[in-house]
Structure formats: C-alpha cells, structure tokens
Amino acid sequence: MTQRKYFGTDGIRGRVGQWPISADFMLRLGRALGVVLRQQKKTPGHPLVLIGKDTRVSGYMFESALEAGLAAAGVDVRLFGPMPTPAVAYLTRSLRADAGVVISASHNPHHDNGIKFFSAHGEKLSDEIEHAIELETDAQFITVDSDDLGKVVRVTDAVTRYAEFCKSTVPEDFSLAGMKIALDCAHGATYQAAPKVFAELGAQLFVIGDRPDGFNINHDVGSMHPQALQRAVLDHHADIGFAFDGDGDRVQMVDRSGVICDGDDMLYVLARSWRKRGMLKGPVVGTLMSNFGLQQALAESDIDFIRANVGDRFVLQKLKEHEGLLGGETSGHVLCLDRATTGDGIVAALAVLEALKLEGQDLVAARQGLHKMPQIMINVRAKGAREALQSEDVKKALAETEQALHGRGRVVLRASGTEPMARVTVEAADETEVKQLAQKLADVVKSVAERS
C-alpha cells in the first residue's frame, strides 16, 4: 500500500476539485478500469461495470466522467443513482457484473468525494488490481473504435432489488411489528432503501436525515453525529434507533434510554447470540481500536477475539484467514459474512434486531455484560505528523506509555492513511490517567512534527 500513488486504505478520497478528485482524473480512471477489465476478461463481449453513488452534488459530475471513460474503453455501464455502498457490492454479484464502482466519501462532508471499487465477487479489489489500474490511469488515453464503444443504461429497480436482499438476510417469518424504530439516514445513500426495508418488515418508523439536497450529507446527522438519533429515540419513545453514515456501510445504535452504542456493542450482542445458537465460526475480529472491554467481555463468554489493522478490508482479510464470520470496527463497520461480502449498515442492524428478538431482550439488557474502558483518541494534525512516528523521541515516549500501562491498558499510535495526521489512543480503567498519558504522548508527536 505504501507504493500506491492514488489508492489509500479504502479507495481514492479527497477534496472535490483537487487532484485526483477531479472530473478529468475520473475520466482517465474510468478508462483505466475498463482497460484492466478487458485484459482480464476471458469470455466474449464487453465487460459490465455498475456505478452507484451517494447524495453529494459532485456525484453527478464524477458519474458522468466515469461512465465516459468506461465507454471509451469498450465497457458497458449500468447506472444506479444514489445507492448504499454495500448495495453496489451485492448487485455486482447479483447482476454478474465484472466490477462495481461507488462514488462516495462515506462519512466525510459534501465537499469531499471518492471512489471505491468492488470485484465481481462483491469484495474490495486486490492490491494487485488496484496497482494495475493506477498504472493504466497514467498511460495515454486511447478510445476504442466506434463500433466497440460501451453502452450506458440507467437501472430503475436497484433500490427494490437491494431491499429484497436485505430482507432475505433474516428468516421469512421475521417481523418488526409492534416495534418503534428511529432511523437516521444521514441525508445519504440509505435515504430510500433503509425506510423501505424496515417499514416492509412491519416496524413503526421515525425517520430523520432522509431529505438530501446534495450538500447536507452527514451534516449534524448520521453515525458521525448520533446525537440527532438520540433526540429522535427519546422524543418518540422508540425501542431502538439506528444511524447510518453517508454511504450506508456503517451504523451506530441508540438504545431506548438514549445511550449511544457503537460497533463494539454490536459485535458483543451478535457474538454472544450467534455462539448460543451455534452459528459463530472462527474468532471475532476487531481492530487495534476495539475497546479492551470488548476483548475481556468476549473472553468471559469463551469467545476468541483477535485484532486486525484499522480498516474493514483488514478485518475481512483476518476473517478469511481464520475462517471467521463476524468482525468489525468500533466506527460501526460490521461484517456478517454469513449474509454479505462487505460491511452493510442495514444488514448489520437487522442482524442485531434478529438476535434481540431471539434472546427476548432489548438492547439495554443485551449489552449489560459489556463494560468498556475509558478510551481517549487525540488527532495530531501537522505536516510531519506521520513521519514523526519513526523518530527516536516518539518511540521512547511510546515505550514509556506502554510501560506505565503494562497489564492495565493499551496504547495505539498510528498514522492516518488519508491525512497528514497521527492518532494517539490510550485506554485504561482510570480516565484521568488515560487523558494525561494520551496528551503527554500527543505533545511529543506534535513537537517532533513541528521540528521536522
């Protein structure tokens, strides 16, 4: 990944209008994807690529550029319009496409955007394929002969197809009748699909964040701002609430008392229910950021837990390596590989609701055995912040922090994969100590960065 020119840990992302998040780059990127797919295709005919997007105003511009580049390479295209990222992953498999493209910057504000790719199997592209696309992006732009150009068609039933898939992940007799559920769609890609799924399963809904205007995606709503969902749950006396992010691949929960519950809570509820029902295979996979309290709580239930690097692609790799089914991030990326090939906020929410109904519990009761440790994360934003992590001063400060927490807590120091920033995370039982140790380490990182 360190040799990549454009791709980060989760596709390509940045500020709209600044290279490479520009219309001219997207034109070249579309053609590059098309060339690579044609080189790999072993059957006759044009490759087929699906394109979905979230609700950002810039999505229209990039959609047009990508489809033009793909058509110029001799690739057929199907356009979905606003669709959750996991919906594109599913439909790529369902429609037997060669690849899926999502135009989204996930939980970022509207002035950012990005591109994610899915393989024919509905999974993130391999490092090798991404590298091949990068090389072709910088190559000469050549358009195929006119009689070999790709055709572009807009698909009108994509939301219905995806909604039916979501409902198929729970038993046929599963019903939400009698439940009051609050949904926050972040003015993003789930604004059509999520209310449709939960309403058709019988829930009484209270929906916010379902009026996108191109600019309000993730603005004071969604999984990044769950306070809006808290208010909705309490105001409507809902049994539970779910807040999705802008592209729908992550979800946060709020219980009936207004307590915010994150991906760690979801893993705990699902792991214990699946274990009880004989469905859990392999270890549960978290990340370096998963709370130590989750690890302790799962151990008390004799459930194995391992950590991956931060990023859902790394969680997926660990799950495959250890033949596991359940994993995720604290942020709400939860992978249920018995149901979907990628993180899916709606599918994960339904899995939790299924577990609660089978256990005869609400979310408050189901998470009683999970006691999280205080965790502080400080973002050190500076030009040389990432490079500072290799300095002797920072390494010494990190070792001192680890020694201070030995056997009682954890410290994680890592560089951001997309920004000039280092993240300092400390967790232990004593919140005051956690704050002091995190700030002390962050100050060292900042000092070294500013000197560089």
Task: Tell me the DSSP string of 40-85.
Answer: H--SSS--EEEEEE-S-THHHHHHHHHHHHHHHTT-EEEEEEE--H
Taking the C-alpha atoms of residue 180 and residue 390, their distance in angstroms, rounded to an integer, is: 51
Taking the C-alpha atoms of residue 269 and residue 92, their distance in angstroms, rounded to an integer, is: 30
Q: Which helix (H) or strand (E) is 229 found in, with range? A: helix 227-236
Is the bond preceding residue 20 a cis peptide, omega within 30 degrees?
A: yes
User: How far lies 112's CA from each of 7, 18, 59, 395, in Å?
Assistant: 15, 10, 10, 33
Count other Cβ atoms within 10 Å, centred on residue 301.
12
Taking the C-alpha atoms of residue 190 and residue 163, their distance in angstroms, rounded to an integer, is: 10
List the one residue out of 171, 133, 122 whose CA is nearest residue 12: 133
Selecting among 104, 106, 290, 331, the annotated active-site residue is 106
Q: In the annotation, is 106 catalytic?
A: yes
SS3 category, 270: helix
Whether the Cβ atoms of residue 233 and residue 199 lie closer than 8 Å to each other: no
Taking the C-alpha atoms of residue 219 and residue 200, their distance in angstroms, rounded to an integer, is: 28
List the one residue out of 139, 123, 118, 127 whose CA is nearest residue 29: 139
Q: Which helix (H) or strand (E) is 243 found in, with range? A: strand 240-244
Whether the Cβ atoms of residue 218 and residue 186 lie closer than 8 Å to each other: yes
Active site residues: 106
